[in-house]
Chain A
Amino acid sequence: MSALTGTTRLARLVLRRDRIRLAIWILGTPLLGYALAGSVAGIYPDQEARLGYATTSASSLVARAFNGPIHGTDLGAVVVAETYVTLALIVALLSTFAVTRHTRQNEETGRAELLGANVVGRYAPLTAALLVIVVANALAAVLLAVALVGAGLPLAGSVAAAAAIGGVGVAFTAIAAVTAQLSVTSRGANALAAATVGLSFVLRAAGDVLGEQSADGTRVRSAWPSWISPLGWGNQVRAFDGERWWVLALPVALLLAGVALAYALAERRDQGAGLIAPRPGPSTGAPQLLSPSGLAWRMQRGTLLGWAVGVAVLGFSMGIAGDEFNDMIDANPAAAEAINAMGGGADLIKAYLAAMLGLFALTIGAYVVQALLRVRGDEADGVLEAALATAVSRTRWLGTQVLAATLGAVALLLLAGVTTGLGYGIVTGDPLGEAVELGGAALLRLPALLVIAGVVTAIFGLLPRWSVVLSWTTLLVFLLLGQLGAVLELPQAALNVSPYTHVPAVPAADPAALPLVVLAAVAAALLAVGVAGFRHRDVPS
């Protein structure tokens, strides 16, 4: 039996298990690319607009950090600048999770053992997974190229841009193939690979920030850190600006090296084992862990820390961008109008800051949903049953979770406001004053988040099986009402459904107590309903 025996059969199994995910991935990426390209073309229709965009993007450090280096004024180049990082991150994470799902997760759950007992070669499971995922990346890239051409972009550049995105997927497929050998758990493998994605982003951002602006002002030549980041390679292809095709050899080389390394590691370890031995933990529970609140903090702290880092980086960048924004509105009255519509106020920079805080409040809503849905996850896993069979009342258990999510939301809101204020204050000269003002303004968004906590709790209490779907749908509806409600000219009654509609847009608007009190009252009512429902229903149900 060769080490690859059974690869085809296993590949078919991967296809069968993931047929829906793969279809969404392979069709969704091009569709997203097409939609984004269309909207960018609408915003920057002529050479003049694109020249302005390219010059601003090349000189703005924030734009370089988040959008990557701009390469000229071709419409394609603007499309790449606006979409590359998003698409590349999506593809990188999709590839990572898919590799782990079909390798380490199978070993962890014992499925691999079941298969391994059949006629399956040593390398077959890994090879089958990689085969499917690389092909999926390639297919998505081909369709993306077609989509970009369909959106009216030149052929060569479209192919190069799509191949650059596909290359990112292939590169992280290789990285995940290695991390899947290292960690014993799929969670650990995913965390390692996702950390590599994060590191790649930081390296690329650093390289692009440290890069040089070309003489004509519309291009950025990245510094060396971008070259050691698989996320950075895609930019170095320079799609729509004299494509450098040879750069595409880098992800392919990484794939070959990664597969070779993964095979070598697989050879050296037992089924189910890893190279990173799991660290032993404490053999007894520390006193501060041994209560519902201690446990909630323990379960929450990792997530919260991740959120805090993200919020702080984003807040600081948005704050610094506030000053660049001052310059930008002078150059682009259309954008000024858009910002004005979002925040609604006379003072544009205040409107901008209010809009940013509003966006943070929406995003932190996702944290609240995620944190509270943990109770439902525990119920589905069966842990809740064990916990409620102890001398802890249901009210106390659920109340603790709500309190933990609320405190997390307070911390994140405050952090968002303070970092935005610090960033803005550093460039305008009053970091402390801005931090205090925006920190306070951010906290005024709390009642809207309490309503979200109330909605999730009520759903969990009354319709537990629908918790996940309904909670996220609710948040999505609030998001859409906030972002598109004005554009779509929805009636005010519809907009009023979202708690975010009622939060005063401080600092662009004056704070008002009444709406906040009403929101808090609605939240309290929803929480009461949720707790009552939970007290009266079956667990698990």
Chain B
Amino acid sequence: MPVISIGNLVKTFGAIRALDGLDLHVEQGEVHGFLGPNGSGKSTTIRILLGLLRRDSGDAQVLGADPWRDAVRLHRRLAYVPGDVSLWPNLTGGEAIDLLGQLRGGLDRRRRDELLHRFDLDPTRRCRTYSKGNRQKVAIVAAFSSPVELYVLDEPTSGLDPLMEAVFQDEVRRVKQAGATVLLSSHVLAEVEALCDRVSIIREGRTVESGTLTELRHLTRTAVTVETARPVSGLDVLPGVHDVHEVDGRTHLEVEPAHLDELLGQLIRFGVRALTSTPPTLEQLFLRHYGDDPAAAATGAPAAAAPGASAAAAASGAPTVSSSDADVQADAPQGGAR
């Protein structure tokens, strides 16, 4: 049974249609990446899952229960890190952690102290003196100190430094190992790549893509640059091959992963000297969905051309085949949610 199951979810705020038929399925034990541009409805979805907002229509089930009606019972079994953490200004960080933990139904003291240490958080300071990053650490420590079945994390690391990011990733892996499920809304693509078993990408309140990262890559074209002994021809008519053009004697094209084999079969005949294939980076994958043009996203055309790394290989003169792996940038598009 899925831990989170959302179908055709609609939520409006006056004239704004924040969610417009959203679907989301998160299986038991997985870390599920929840991605989408700012304002696409991630926080709204999460708040509905927590019974804070009331849905207009559609289905929503969390741990087999209705999040609105069974909110209190469900909240014992889940922990939440809000996107924009605010705390009681006159409580200390330690008090806030204990309070949140206790209100949730208790926390593991040993874990709490260990996490405080690992996140290098001073629990004796008043919350009003904490920076955004430190407030986020308070919420993260409070959440991971509770042994629950589901962790709902709304852009939990947008204020953390790389060191703390690593600690955070360790924690997510630890709770996953312990059998918990994690819904992780994030803009940090390296984090998504490192942690998530599956991702759902939403846009303007709708799910536009859902699956494992490998599956998502397969929906996206690979960029190929090839240098041949004889001029190539007849590539355009091959199935799944797009955008063929020649620059300085090298042929550039894009191919759907399913048709890579046929393309190679055809290329062999022209005497391949050098070949570079660049699978789409995660960033390109997301940019495609985040981009301004929904039509382009729907047809699957990459928004940005893949950077070729073929020049060096081509210079050697011998036929080489290289495949540069998707290198994900940690500083990829980020942004405050509100």
Q: Interface of A with B (CB < 8 Å)? A: 184-185, 187, 278, 280-286, 289-292, 295, 298-299, 381-383, 385-393, 536-540
Contact = CB atoms under 8 A, between A and B. Distances in A.
B100 interface: yes
Interface string B102-135: 1111000000000000000011111011000000
B95 to A, nearest CB: 4
Given A280-B124, A388-B52, A382 B86 contact: yes
B196 to A, nearest CB: 22
Contact of A391 (B54, B88, B105): B105
A284 B95 contact: yes
Contacts of B47: 385, 538
A284 B99 contact: no
A289 B102 CA distance: 10
A200 to B, nearest CB: 26
A537 B47 CA distance: 13
Contact of B54 (A281, A286, A536): A536
B91 interface: yes
Contacts of A286: 95
Contacts of A539: 52-53
B119 to A, nearest CB: 14
B76 interface: yes
6 contacts: A281-B124, A283-B124, A289-B91, A387-B100, A389-B52, A390-B103
Contacts of A385: 47, 52, 82
Contact of A285 (B87, B102, B126): B102
A108 B125 CA distance: 15
A281 B92 contact: yes
A516 to B, nearest CB: 35
The 4 A-B pairs with the shortest beta carbon distances in the complex, nearest first, are: A285-B98, A280-B124, A390-B103, A281-B92
Contact of A284 (B53, B86, B98, B104): B98
Given A292-B103, A382-B86, A391 B72 contact: yes
A171 B72 CA distance: 54
Contacts of B98: 284-285, 289-290
Contacts of B96: 285
Interface of B: 47, 50, 52-54, 71-73, 75-76, 80, 82, 84-92, 94-100, 102-105, 122-126, 128-129, 139
A290 B103 CA distance: 7
Contacts of B88: 295, 299, 383
B98 to A, nearest CB: 3
B104 A390 contact: yes
Contact of B126 (A281, A290, A387): A281
B128 A291 contact: no
A391 B73 CA distance: 7
Contacts of B91: 281, 285, 289, 298
Contact of B75 (A283, A295, A381, A391): A391
B87 A383 contact: yes
B99 A290 contact: yes
A190 to B, nearest CB: 13
A389 B142 CA distance: 12
A370 to B, nearest CB: 16
A12 B107 CA distance: 52
Given A282-B95, A295-B88, A389 B75 contact: yes
Contacts of B82: 382, 385-386, 389
Given A381-B86, A392-B72, A284 B102 contact: no
B54 A389 contact: no
B72 A283 contact: no
B102 A291 contact: yes
Interface SS of chain A: helix, strand, loop or mixed? loop
A295 B87 CA distance: 12
B99 A285 contact: yes
Q: Which of A187, A282, A385 has the most CB of B within 10 A?
A: A385
Nearest to B96: A285
A187 B128 contact: yes
A386 B80 contact: yes
A365 B98 CA distance: 33
Contact of A281 (B50, B86, B95, B103): B95
A290 B123 CA distance: 16
Given A281-B92, A295-B99, A391-B76, 9 more contacts: A281-B91, A283-B123, A284-B94, A285-B98, A295-B88, A298-B91, A386-B80, A388-B52, A540-B52
Contacts of B94: 281-285
B102 A290 contact: yes
Contacts of B126: 278, 281
A282 B100 CA distance: 16
B240 to A, nearest CB: 46
A282 B103 contact: no
Contacts of B104: 390-391
B125 A281 contact: yes
B3 to A, nearest CB: 17
Contacts of A187: 89, 128
A187 to B, nearest CB: 7
Nearest to A185: B128
Contacts of B71: 388, 393
A284 B105 CA distance: 16
Contacts of A281: 91-92, 94-95, 124-126
Nearest to A388: B52
B52 to A, nearest CB: 5
A386 B85 contact: yes
A537 B50 CA distance: 13
A77 to B, nearest CB: 45
Nearest to B50: A389
B237 to A, nearest CB: 55
Contacts of A383: 86-88
Contacts of A393: 71-72
A282 B98 CA distance: 11
Contacts of A538: 47, 52-54
Nearest to A539: B52
Contact of A386 (B86, B95, B128): B86
B129 A390 contact: no
B95 A392 contact: no
A167 B271 CA distance: 94
A290 B76 CA distance: 16
A205 B52 CA distance: 52
A70 B335 CA distance: 63
Contacts of B95: 281-282, 284-286, 289
A185 B129 contact: yes
Contacts of A280: 92, 122, 124-125
A387 B100 CA distance: 7
Contacts of B54: 536-538
B159 to A, nearest CB: 13
A387 B103 contact: yes
B294 to A, nearest CB: 28
B92 A283 contact: yes
Contacts of A389: 50, 52, 75, 80, 82
Nearest to B74: A391
A283 B123 CA distance: 5
B52 A386 contact: no
B338 to A, nearest CB: 10
A382 B85 CA distance: 7
B128 A392 contact: no
A301 to B, nearest CB: 10
A391 B52 contact: no
A493 B63 CA distance: 55
B145 to A, nearest CB: 12
A381 B87 CA distance: 8
B297 to A, nearest CB: 30
A284 B102 CA distance: 12
Contact of B100 (A298, A386, A536, A540): A386
A290 B88 CA distance: 13
B124 A282 contact: yes
A393 B304 CA distance: 48
